[in-house]
Amino acid sequence: MNPKIERVLSRVQKPARYAGGEWNAVLKNWEQTPVKIAFAFPDVYEVGMSHLGLQILYHLVNERDDALMERVFAPWPDMEKEMRQHRIPLFSLESQRTVGDFDLLAFTLQYEMTFTNVLNMLDLAGLPLRAQERSAQHPLVIAGGPCAYNPEPLADFVDLFVIGEGEEVFPEIIDLVKNYQKHRDREKFLLQAAGIGGVYVPSLYLVEYKPDGKIASIKPSREGVPERVTKRVVKNFDAAPFPDKLVVPSTEVVHDRIMLEVMRGCTRGCRFCQAGNIYRPVREKRPETLLEQARELVKSTGYEEISLVSLSTADYSQVARLVGELLDEFAAQRINISLPSLRVDAFSVALAQEVSRVRKAGLTFAPEAGTQRLRNVINKGVGEEDLLRAVQSAFAAGWSAVKLYFMIGLPTETRADVEGIARLARQVLETGKRLGVPRGKLAVTVSVSCFVPKSHTPFQWEPQDTQEELNEKQALLKNLLKTKGIIFRWHDSRQSFLEAVLARGDRRLAAALEEAWRLGCRFDGWSECFRFDLWREAFRRTGIVPEWYAYQKYDYDDILPWEHISAGVSKKYLIDEHQRALKGILTGDCREGKCSGCGLCVTLEIAPELSGGKEVAPLQGAV
């Protein structure tokens, strides 16, 4: 270990975050490997190491002879202080080299509230923040992940964005970097990169604004640069590269278990949900493949738990069979199977019961809205009876605590909808009492977040509720939920406001983002670190009105800041969905066999991949 780093580690909290040396970490020969990539997760180690995407890319790159990938996470403020004081630049965990020595610095953008950490990591690495100030001696800074679907607030800081699934695009970028190493002409590299499908080079686009502040046009500034960048997706997901080894953290992380990705995508079509749109179509793996991957991972990691991950695991066509086979195979080794997300129905509870012979800690359901009317608006096909039946079977099966997730501030929401949340929560509590769950144990946690309108969703045109409105709704709920047995949790509306600003922002936000970072904003998603006062100050100093972004109601023919980025879902479909939402009309899930015409499959020349399930014929001419 580098003695300077080692000394500092003795003084910070949780030094294992920075020490490296975990099982299955890959340390390659630096001199003999042409392309060196630092994978940067702009949050703390425990969060970053829980991210499956990191493990997938890490494996994919390190499998190649011509490239290596090492990891770096955002240092917690105590560590940042030590690093700055002792002039230790941001370093990778594997070789403890400074990030500036790598060819590529690849960020994953999982949520907007990590943006100041991105800037902070660039600075700690000793790199100029702005892409145009960096030269051939600096690493290329790239970024991907869900927030890359509206990359504009980071457009000035990042050289190129990867839109869509990294497994597809990364190999092509690596090849191009090898070429770049011969000529070292950044501009040439970026121009060539812009020709790769799914690659967005923000410096090659010109954005013009109207007098009212809205966008007049977004145009490529050079020949050969596409007008729109469309996401890349993995086809034949069953055969997609999947790690047979995972880096096993030595210290506890948020998701500390084998993550077995059973499928990608979800087409339930919740209208607020960005993931549902950007990860389309649904692609399932075969149970045989998954069983084989589970076997390998159990051997190589020593984990005692396998979690079946996806956006909605209960929807996986073969879930019952898979769970049964995993239990049969691994019970003798005392390995648990877990399901991270449950659907609101009795089937899901039965599944959860099957896998958890042991802990009956708590079950989580997400009805999202308090009334049937509003659930129809958001296309959450869940009825009150579904929820009550689900909790009934949960209580009957021995669970005593349930957690309910709701959202406030959804489009068209009225007071009655908010009251509906409290009513539903009480009904759940009553159900528990009726079924004889012991008083002291019975607990219904009501967790309420604030709706944030996200790009590439049918609600992208909608404004966010004002903070005052959100606070009022929270106060109302607080009042209505003052009952023994109900625990009410809510999200800081100021954080949701900032999230909306960043999620809907354009390039002009760069100034405020940089100023906020300069003022000391870090880890904005962590309530103990969040400094709304500093953010306010940053907006004031840069003359940017954040409300303009969060509360903007867009027209369908407005040019949105992310207009030039396509998730493959057609604009026509999003408009239709928005209209149906306002009328409260439900739209079905195409995995049931009927395409709802989102246009994606035609555009990307793909079809849903269902394992032993129905064939779906994507509608032609829907785009």
Q: Which of residues 315-334 bind another protein (CB under 8 A)?
A: 333-334
> Does residue 95 touch another protein according to CB under 8 A?
no
Question: How big is the site for ligand SF4, counted in residues (CB under 6 A)?
Answer: 15
The smaller minimum CB distance to ligand SF4, of residues 95 and 457, is found at: 457
DSSP code per residue over 87-142 = T---B-TTT--BGGGSSEEEEE---GGGHHHHHHHHHHTT--SSGGG--TTSPEEE
Tokens found for residue 151? 């990359």
The smaller minimum CB distance to ligand SF4, of residues 279 and 490, is found at: 279
Q: Say which entry of another protein, ligand SF4, none residue 183 contacts (CB below 5 to 8 A, set by partner kind).
A: none
Q: How many CB atoms lie within 10 A of CB 362?
A: 14
The smaller minimum CB distance to ligand SF4, of residues 327 and 619, is found at: 619
> Does residue 610 touch ligand SF4 according to CB under 6 A?
no
> Does residue 16 touch another protein according to CB under 8 A?
yes
Q: Say which entry of ligand SF4, another protein, none residue 280 contacts (CB below 5 to 8 A, set by partner kind).
A: ligand SF4
Sheet holding 363-368, edge to edge: 363-368, 401-408, 443-450, 486-490
The smaller minimum CB distance to another protein, of residues 25 and 57, is found at: 25
Answer yes or no: are the C-beta atoms of 597 and 280 closer than 8 Å: no
> Does residue 353 touch another protein according to CB under 8 A?
no
DSSP code per residue over 541-588 = HHT--HHHHHS----TTSBPTTTTEE-SS-HHHHHHHHHHHHHT----
> Does residue 358 touch another protein according to CB under 8 A?
yes
The smaller minimum CB distance to another protein, of residues 21 and 436, is found at: 21
Q: Say which entry of another protein, ligand SF4, none residue 303 contacts (CB below 5 to 8 A, set by partner kind).
A: another protein
The smaller minimum CB distance to another protein, of residues 7 and 184, is found at: 7
The smaller minimum CB distance to another protein, of residues 54 and 122, is found at: 54
DSSP code per residue over 488-541 = EEE--HHHHHHHHHHHH--GGGHHHHHHHHHHT---TTSTTT--HHHHHHHHHH
Q: Say which entry of ligand SF4, another protein, none residue 614 contacts (CB below 5 to 8 A, set by partner kind).
A: none
Residue of 280, 343, 456, 580 interacting with ligand SF4 (CB under 6 A): 280
* Beta strand residue intervals within 336-485, DSSP E: 336-338, 363-368, 401-408, 443-450
Q: Phi/psi at 68 (nearest 5 deg)?
A: -135, 150
Residue of 2, 11, 130, 398 interacting with another protein (CB under 8 A): 11
How far, in Å, CA of 439 to CA of 443, rounded?
9
Residue of 132, 221, 250, 479 interacting with another protein (CB under 8 A): 250
The amino acid present at 109, given as its one-letter code, is: L
Q: Say which entry of ligand SF4, another protein, none residue 598 contacts (CB below 5 to 8 A, set by partner kind).
A: ligand SF4
> Does residue 263 touch ligand SF4 according to CB under 6 A?
no
Residue of 143, 262, 595, 610 interacting with ligand SF4 (CB under 6 A): 595
The smaller minimum CB distance to ligand SF4, of residues 280 and 507, is found at: 280
Pick the piece of the chain touching another protein (CB under 8 A) from 11-19, 144-152, 418-426, 505-513.
Answer: 11-19
Assign residue 574 a region: left if phi > 0, alpha if psi is -120 to 50, beta otherwise? alpha
The burial of 426, by beta-carbon neighbours within 10 Å (0-12 exposed, 13-18 middle, 19 or more buried), is given as middle
SS (H, E, C) 415-437: HHHHHHHHHHHHHHHHHHHHCCC
Contact set with another protein (CB under 8 A): 1, 7, 9-11, 15-16, 18-23, 25, 248, 250-252, 256, 299-304, 333-334, 358-359
